[in-house]
Structure 1
Amino acid sequence: MDRWLWAVRLTKTRADAAAACRGGHVRVNDRPAKPATSVVAGDEVRLRNGQQTRIVEVARVIQKRVGAPDAATCLIDRTPAPPPEASVPVARRERGAGRPTKRERRELDEFRAQQGRLG
């Protein structure tokens, strides 16, 4: 498992892949995976990397690290797209207008406080 994760470039190093497996951040077909777990084509691999969870399907098993274009053919990415973030209007100043005055800063703070109460 750790060798495949490293070979298809889901982790930067093989040690990182092994640590993720030991830490419970890798699941194969909804079962916790150890670094020595073997994978076959068709397996679903879930890798939690920080706040992001990658869901990939094994298309081809490789043992050695290959170039990025070749590595991309070894997996099918099934990670759902992140939800769109709500856009909040941001106050913009004219270019070259300088820093806001104390009065403008107070108005901005009041505006932001009202937006916080509404949302």
Structure 2
Amino acid sequence: MITTLVGRTFLKAYNEKYSQNYSAKDFFEKVYFDLFFNHSKYMQWVTNSPFVQMSKGQKPHLLSVKERKEKLENLYKKVETEAPDASFAIGFPASESKEYASTSGLVSDVLIETDEEDI
């Protein structure tokens, strides 16, 4: 989806500006995760993502660092084993878009090649 292109463009510019050579996954893990998710108050709330899907009794603002890292590992597992959907790939359609009248935004019929690295 279009967010994949935006992400690629951003990562290229970031790597050039800061003389880095991050892959998308490395950037997410080493930079983005700490800024946006590894805190008691998430800066970004991705609906239905592993970061906001709590186990029974969990509260986002009470998660330990270890529990937040487990959420990160759950995200990686979804990327590796499931088709991309809006719960972990921003800009992609909802997983049930064919069964229900979905409100997925940013969805396009334009085919943009993506792979696990892009997600």
TM interval, shorter chain, is under 0.3
TM-score (norm 2): 0.24
Whichever of the two has the greater Rg, that structure is 1
**Larger RCO: Structure 1 or Structure 2 (Cα < 8 Å, ≥ 6 residues apart)?**
2
Structure whose residues are more often strand by fraction:
1
Structure whose residues are more often helix by fraction:
2
